[in-house]
Structure 1
Amino acid sequence: MSQSGAVVTTIRDRIGSLPGWGAGDIVIEPAIPILASPSWRGVDGFPWRAINKSNGESIFVKVMDRDAELYIDVPCAFQAAQRASDLGIGPKVVLADIQAGILIMEDLNHGWRVGTLERMLEPKIVDAVMAARRLFQAGKPLSKRKGVFDEIEHFYVAATSAKAQIPTDTEWLVAELRFAAAAFGGLDTTPVPIHGDGNVSNILISDAGEVRLIDWDRATTADPLEDIGSFLVEAFDQEPEARDAFARNAGAFDEAAFNRARIYGVADDLRWGLIGALLAAKSARNTLEFYKFASWRFLRCRMAVREPRFGEALRRIA
């Protein structure tokens, strides 16, 4: 039996235990195309859709890829997905099997679309996304407690140990973000649970304008501004739009807080560049997509760090 055939068999076994799914004609098929570059969509876990032909119902099944152990805390990711489900800001979780790395959720398919940069031009959508993040941040700490600066150190060691193909100035970028980490270390912050992934393709938007956050694989307990920063760097190409969104949702503009969020966004680019490089070196999936994705995140990080405004923002974080 092929690997995909074995996965389908495993999915079928899990689905068989769900109410209403134990009998009938069940079709299991790939749900969405997997694309690392530019959106990192479906990379962490292969996405399947199971359809009950007898009644037309469907559910979404995420099967974590073997690469997940390189960069994901699966128990924490599943914990976060369940909490988001309970809060109504993520798809409803039907079954979570951490041991097998299988997460079964409601299928937000018809009437829902993946977030795009164009939708981020709509203040109501952006405000709904940020409100969902704030709601999640109000909960108890998650089991994982690593922030972006911790992960930069971890993935830099992992990428260099794997002899990953990284830019020649990576050591300099890491040093610059270490300097930022040291500055942030002197601040009084309260870590909270965060989604931790600002990719707009991890937002589902309904035809009625509701939003759901998906892919909780970077969830952790960290500074809430890290969550905002990872979102702002992905959602807005220009600082004025990011500034407007930040001020609108904070109630008033706090320059120090905004600067911290922006620097977190720069750090997030470096982290993802290192993750992409690590997977390009170690994944069994023979594709250039990981390298392409890493190259873009390294480039955007480099551009931001070289900007005079980076140093100015770092001087104004308190």
Structure 2
Amino acid sequence: MSSLEAEQSRVRRSIARLPGWDGETAVIEPALPVLASPSWRGVDGTPWRVRNAANGESAFVKAMDQDAALYIDVPCAFEAASRACALGIGPRVLCADLDEGVLVMEDLDRGWRVGTLERVLDPAIVDAVLAARRRFREGPPLPKRRGVFEEVEHFHAAAQEARAQLPSETAWLVGELRLAADAIRGLAIAPVPIHGDGNVSNILISDAGEIRLIDWDRATTADPLEDIGSFLVEAFAHEPEARDAFTRHTGAFDEAAFSRARLYGIADDLRWGLIGALLAAKSRRNTLEFYKFASWRFARCGMAVREPRFGETLRRLA
């Protein structure tokens, strides 16, 4: 059996668990192109669209790739997706099959669009995204409790062990962000469940302006400002726009809190650079441009750390 046939068999077994579905007669088709550069899209699990030949219903299926074990807590990700479904801020989860590593969701195809940088220029969309993230934080802690600074250390060690190609300044970047981690560690912070991934392509937007958050693979229990920081660094190239969105979200501008969110965003770039480098070294999927994606995240992190404002941001935490 080929790898493609094996993966489709996984999908059929999971689909067969749904009432009214027959896994053997389900029509399985690729849902979207898998890209690791310039966007990280469909990388964590192969995206399929499955149609019920009997009644025409369709479902969106994410079959986790074996690479996911390198950087994702799959049980926590599936639990987070299910919680988002219950809260109405994520697609309906029809089946979360941990045995197969398959997540089956409602198919938000017609009338929905993937988020882009152009679409998040609309303040109403930004506010809806931040409101959804805020709502998710109201639930009980998730089983995963590792924040972005801990993940930077983890993936830096993993990349070194894998002999991954890393920029010469990587150790320096890790060291500079340890200063931020040490400063934040001394603050009184109540960890909450967070989405943890600010990529704007993880937002679905309906024609009516509704939003749904998808791809809960970085979900964890951490500082709520980590969730905001990872989104702001992706959505806004310039600080004034990020400040405006932050102020609308929090109700007032707090310099120390905004600085904390910015530092989390900078650390998020380094984390994703390390993940990309790790997969470039270890993934069997050598047609995906993992290192090209990593290079962009390393570069943006390096630019932020070199700015004089990085030191100012650290001082403003107090």
Q: Structures share a fold, TM > 0.5?
A: yes
- Identify the residue that residue 312 of structure 2 maps to in structure 1: 312
Contact 2:33 2:42 in 1 (8 A): yes
Given residue 315 of structure 2, which amino acid in structure 1 is its aligned partner? R
* Structure 2 CA distance for aligned equivalents of residues 128 and 11 of structure 1: 32
Q: Does 1:100 align with 2:100?
A: yes
Gaps of 5+ in 2: none
- 1:62 corresponds to: 62
Q: Give the corresponding residue for 2:173.
A: 173
**CA deviation map 1:279-303 (0-9, x unaligned):** 0000000135100000000000000
Deviation at 1:11, TM superposition (A): 1.4
* Runs of 4+ in structure 1 over 3 Å off: none
SS in 1 for 2:22: coil
**Residue aligning to 2:131:** 131
Q: State the partner residue of 2:186.
A: 186
1 CA distance for matches of 2:102 and 2:53? Answer: 22
Please name the residue that 2:119 is paired with.
119
Alpha-carbon distance, 1:273 to partner:
0.3
> 1:2, 1:262 → 2: CA distance?
45
2:7 is equivalent to residue 7 of structure 1: yes
Q: After alignment, is 81-90 or 2-11 more displaced? A: 2-11
Q: 1:196-242 deviations in whole A, cap 9, x for unaligned?
A: 00000000000000000000000000000000000000000000100
Segment of structure 1 superposing worse, 186-195 or 91-100: 91-100
8 Å contact kept, 2:125–2:211: yes
- Residue of structure 2 equivalent to 1:142: 142
Which residue of structure 2 aligns with residue 46 of structure 1?
Answer: 46
Kept in 1, the 8 Å contact 2:12–2:24? The answer is: no
Normalising by structure 2, we get a TM-score of 0.98
Matched residue of 1:10: which SS? helix
CA–CA distance in 2 between the matches of 1:134 and 1:6?
Answer: 39
Q: TM-score, normalised by structure 1?
A: 0.98
Deviations 1:163-215 (Å, cap 9, x if unpaired)? 10010000000000001100111101000000000000000000000000000
Compare 20-29 and 99-108 and name the one that shifted more: 20-29
Are the aligned partners of 2:202 and 2:215 in contact in 1 as well (CA < 8 Å)?
yes
Q: Over residues 20-50 of structure 1, what are the superposed CA-to-partner deviations in whole Å (9 max), with x where a residue is unaligned?
A: 2138952101111000112210000001110
Read off the aligned partner of 2:193 and give its amino acid letter. P
Give the superposition deviation at 1:274.
0.3
For 1:147-296, list aligned pairs within 5 A: 147-287=147-287, 289-296=289-296
CA contact (8 A) 1:45 1:63 kept: yes
The letter for the 1-side match of 2:136 is F
In structure 2, how many angstroms separate the alpha carbons of the residues matched to 1:134 and 1:88? 13
Equivalences for residues 24-43 of structure 1 within 5 A: 25-43=25-43
Question: Deviations for 1:107-144, whole angstroms, at most 9, x for unmatched residues?
Answer: 11111000000111101000000000000011100000
The alpha carbon displacement at 1:59 in A equals: 0.2
- 2:115 counterpart letter in structure 1: G
Whole-angstrom CA distance in 2 between matches of 1:58 and 1:268? 35
5+ residue gaps, structure 1, are: none
Report how many residues are paired: 318
C-alpha distance in structure 2 between counterparts of 1:189 and 1:173, whole Å: 24
Report the alpha carbon displacement of residue 317 of structure 1 after superposing the two structures with TM. 1.0
Give the AA of the match of 1:149. F
Asked if the contact 1:24/1:54 (under 8 Å) is kept, the reply is no
Q: Is the 8 A contact 1:48 1:62 kept in 2?
A: yes
Offset of 1:9 from its aligned partner? 1.9
Amino acid at match of 1:307: E
Aligned-residue RMSD, C-alpha: 1.1
